[in-house]
Structure 1
Amino acid sequence: MDEKAARTIQAIIVDGTFTLAGLAAAALGIWYVWEGNAGLAATGLGGGLVLLFAATIHRFESLKGLGMEAKTKELKFQVDKAEHALAQLRDLAEFTGTNLLRMVSAGGRHGSATSMDNSYKVSRDVKKLFADASSKPQTVRTALEFWARYAAIDMFSTKLRDMQSTFESRIRQMGEDAAKLQGDDCADLVRRSQALREFQLGAQKGLGSWELHEFPSRLRRIVEEAPDLLSVQREQWRADFAPAITQLQYLADNLDYRDHEYWGEISRKRG
């Protein structure tokens, strides 16, 4: 005989014993009711009910178990629905936040004007929105990188515009010097001034397609690789560009401003 069968027989015997004892006690209680002995009647009936309950308690537990199982399944269903709704909410938040950043960051370039300060505020709001939606870090970074790239473009363009007067002054001076020369010396100086002009015009080539991490090195190259700048001019712009390069590097690493006042000045220059 296996263990399961033995337990079944044991349960039948126990249940039968409790049932018979319960019926006997209840019958005795009823007898005492007829006899008018309230105390013994209550004892008999109470004991009988307890014994009968003991005989059927496993059935109550089974019913209770079924009820709990049903409630557990219902609860799990509701939790699954909530998780699905949360996932949909997260998708909506990410879609809305990403596209909001795209529209705001691109403002001022396609017919509308949005200040850098406003773009920054929106980027912080979107970052908080993603955090509240428990978005993945990479999703947050991808969205914020779009804003950060436009901020870097604004920084790069503004600093290069600041330097235009130096380019123009140097090219003009080289032209005047070439006019005083003849032959190969004149031709060489003209060629060099043309090379500086080409460097000036090509400094922003492909600007919109640069990766965020490229901006610090590209701004540094403007100063270090521009041909025929005077030493004093190169040193002047090396010192001027150093803080901007630091800000761009921090932006690329942290997707945030390091010095808000510095970026505020860039925003005012951008107009």
Structure 2
Amino acid sequence: MKLFIDIGNRRVKWATSAQINVSVSQPTDDPSALDKIISEQVINTHSSTLADQLSMQFKKLPAPESVWVSCVAAESIKTDIAKICQVIWKLSPICIRAEAAAGGVENCYENPASVGADRWAANIAARHVAGARALVVIDAGTAVTIDYVDSKGGFLGGLIFPGVATMIESLTSATGQIPAMTHSYSAKRTPRQTHYLNTDTRAAVENGVMLAVTAGIDRAIDYHLATKDSELKVIITGGDAECIIGLSSHDMKHEPNLVLIGLLLLSQESAQ
């Protein structure tokens, strides 16, 4: 058994190889199948008791043969996890970083190592899930990343801009009349159900930011459809994925745990 840990800017989540294999090898019409399996395996990155909570949870697991980590959060969290793994299992985690090529994906960045570990793992997982076809891979979290992978597996680059919660936090901190608020936009909106005439400030901000994020994503997809491949597939992950799917004018496949799947694939490749 291997353990995979995705350390994002707002959440730490983990899964074992057995849990991920069940989700990948037995696909269902429910894209959140793995989320349901690991629903208790998610902790807020900013929790003051993060290390204690992780230690308590990891002690319940059988000893893994290896621990694989993708980290885009503070280095201190990765350090804490390394200490926990060493104390409980006498293991040092393997922290992935982007390479020139891996998992059937060729990294065309000017400096391949500068690609975020989460983006790299997500693109590899998307390639595995969708097969040999052109892809737009979207991660809608603290930041929104929109990456293009061609049908030969070439990761040609992409876009990065602030995510919904980040935009809201930036707006409320930079203005005197808009009160501080947390991101609470409903994921249950039906397509095109953004409200344009809002009669309270919270709704005006949330709908405005969701519209801006979704419009940016749709514009990028339109560009790739027009200039790269009209048959490309769009795969989306991240905390705001369901909201965006409900508002976007494009069909999207929701894969909530692309990074964890990518970690599994990288671990399998390293064993070959």
Structure exhibiting the larger radius of gyration computed from Cα positions:
1
Q: What range is the shorter-chain TM-score in?
A: under 0.3
- Give 1 or 2: higher helix fraction: 1
- Give 1 or 2: higher strand fraction: 2
Which protein, 1 or 2, shows the higher relative CO under an 8 Å CA cutoff with sep ≥ 6? Answer: 2
